[in-house]
Structure 1
Amino acid sequence: MQPFRGSVEMMPGWIEGVLQHGHGVASGANSESPYPKGSISIQSPFFKALGLDLSCYWHGTINLSFKPLEIILRNPDITFENMYWTDLHPPETFSFWNIKLRSIDNHNVNGLIYYPHPETKARHWQSSSVLEILAPRMTNLGEGSPLQVKASEGCLQLIDGARLRAKLLEFLKFRVLASPDHFFANSSHLGIREWLSKTNPEFLILPNKDLDHVWNQAKTLYTET
């Protein structure tokens, strides 16, 4: 990412994204949202009952984009599994990471990465290039504003997901063509991750859904039916 266009320079451990408009569901700004008060306001009492008090944060999310890079999150500070908070859809799982935020005017605040797990999130798809962040209100921020974020080591990483998926597909292509009758039979019993750990660990950074998608794509493209 490019450094700030101002007096604040990028410090080690900080990464920079730009603000973009969200769906307006978290804050209730979207008039078509099924949650007129905003989903964060509705969820907050449930989180508080489980031990997470969000009263110091604005009841909406900052949407921070790192496009075209994609976000890999690990080791959450808090996870609430299958939390029931609305009768409009099944329970959802949420994870949170403690972070620091820094704006171009050197305004520093503590915040939380807010991550409704997509496998349990029935509505409002979120791009893999966008972080949803809970924070106190920050002034002088708007669409396109740069914002830096810092998480604990090993929690937040940016990857070129499109390049890695294409490279993995090409890697599998040559493996399959070298052994068209036996490749998937010989490798599938190990599991994709175990097999890649023995052949090309570079691809292990990809999430399971990406590995499964590329693996199945290779089966479709490179094996005879």
Structure 2
Amino acid sequence: MSRVETSRLIGRIVSGHGVASGRSDGSPYPAGTIAMQTPVFRQAGLDLSDCWPGTINLSFAPLELRLKDPDHCFPHLRWTDLHPPETFSFWRVDLVAENGQQACGWVYRPHPETKQRHWQSSSTLELLAPRLNGVKPNSRMEIVDHRSRIGLVDGVRLRSRLLECLKFRVLAAQQSFFVSTEGEQRRVWLRQVWPEALALDDGDLEAVWSQARMLYVDD
């Protein structure tokens, strides 16, 4: 049986929108979104009653996060009448604050494709945890994932290098290149030519392919 490695990532705490905790004066959710969502999550099978009703925002900029295999995924949960249902995923992690405090917590991820307000950077994790005293913006925090499902990539560098990698192939083959790398064949091709780019998600790859078509295909 293969041993699952533990991933340890250290980020910097940044200020959030104040919507999760209800601290934002302009929020349509005075009680805070976490307090409103917690009963819905409990009904779906996840008890967050030990967590403070707000998020810790942990930035890894300029690197971008890649997450897989959540402990819980709740599709299309309706928790408010102000917008359509959202999908949420959660990862169980251990947290170690710069001042030495430790706690078990959760990575909390409203899926961006279903989230209509308060966009979150792909470099930032939202965390749910018991109240941690003395944790403040610009301090560091480590997250420990014992199943190594949370990783970081240099997305800007990868996208730029991939676009350059495509340049001469597109110039030589034109539209036939895009036909041969449609759908699942795109990752098959990358696996053979440049596996490092497989760290990019499908949205990133589609954006690079679209840019390559615009830049390198003859009119």
TM-score range for the pair, normalised by the shorter chain length: over 0.9
Seq. identity, %: 50
Aligned partner of 2:148: which letter? G
Out of 31-40 and 197-206, give the one that drifted further.
197-206
Q: Secondary structure at the match of 1:137?
A: coil
What residue is the counterpart of 1:4 in the other structure? none
Superposition pairs for residues 12-23 of structure 1, below 5 Å?
13-23=7-17
Q: State which of 196, 210, 214 in structure 2 corresponds to 1:220.
A: 214
User: How many residue pairs align between the two structures?
Assistant: 214
For the residues of structure 2 that align with 1:220 and 1:43, how far apart are their CA atoms? 43
1:124 is aligned to: 118
In 2: Cα distance, 1:181 partner to 1:18 partner:
44
Deviating beyond 4 angstroms after TM superposition, the runs of 4 or more aligned structure 1 residues are none
How does the TM-score come out when normalised to structure 2? 0.94
Aligned to 1:176: 170
Note if contact 1:74-1:154 (Cα within 8 Å) is conserved in structure 2. no
Instruction: Note the C-alpha offset of 1:143.
Output: 1.1
**Contact 2:7 2:148 survives alignment (8 Å):** no
Residue 195 (structure 1) shift: 2.3
Alignment of 1:11-160 (within 5 A): 13-160=7-154
Distance between the aligned counterparts of 2:143 and 2:183, measured in 1?
40
Q: Deviations over 1:68-101 (max 9, x none)?
A: 0100001100000000111111100000000000
How far apart in 1 are the matches of 2:43 and 2:179? 49
| Shift in Å, 1:201 | 1.6
CA RMSD of aligned residues (A): 1.3
| One-letter amino acid of the structure 2 residue matched with residue 163 of structure 1 | R
| Other-structure match for 1:167 | 161
1:211 is the counterpart of 2:205: yes
Unaligned runs of 5+ in 1: 1-11
Unmatched 5+ stretches in structure 2:
1-5
- CA deviations 1:2-53 (Å, max 9, x no partner) are xxxxxxxxxx732110100000110001010010000000001100111111
Seen in structure 2, the aligned counterparts of structure 1 residues 85 and 187 have a Cα distance that, compared at 3 Å, is same
Return the alpha-carbon distance in structure 1 between the equivalents of residues 160 and 200 of structure 2: 12
Structure 1 residue identity aligned to 2:107: I
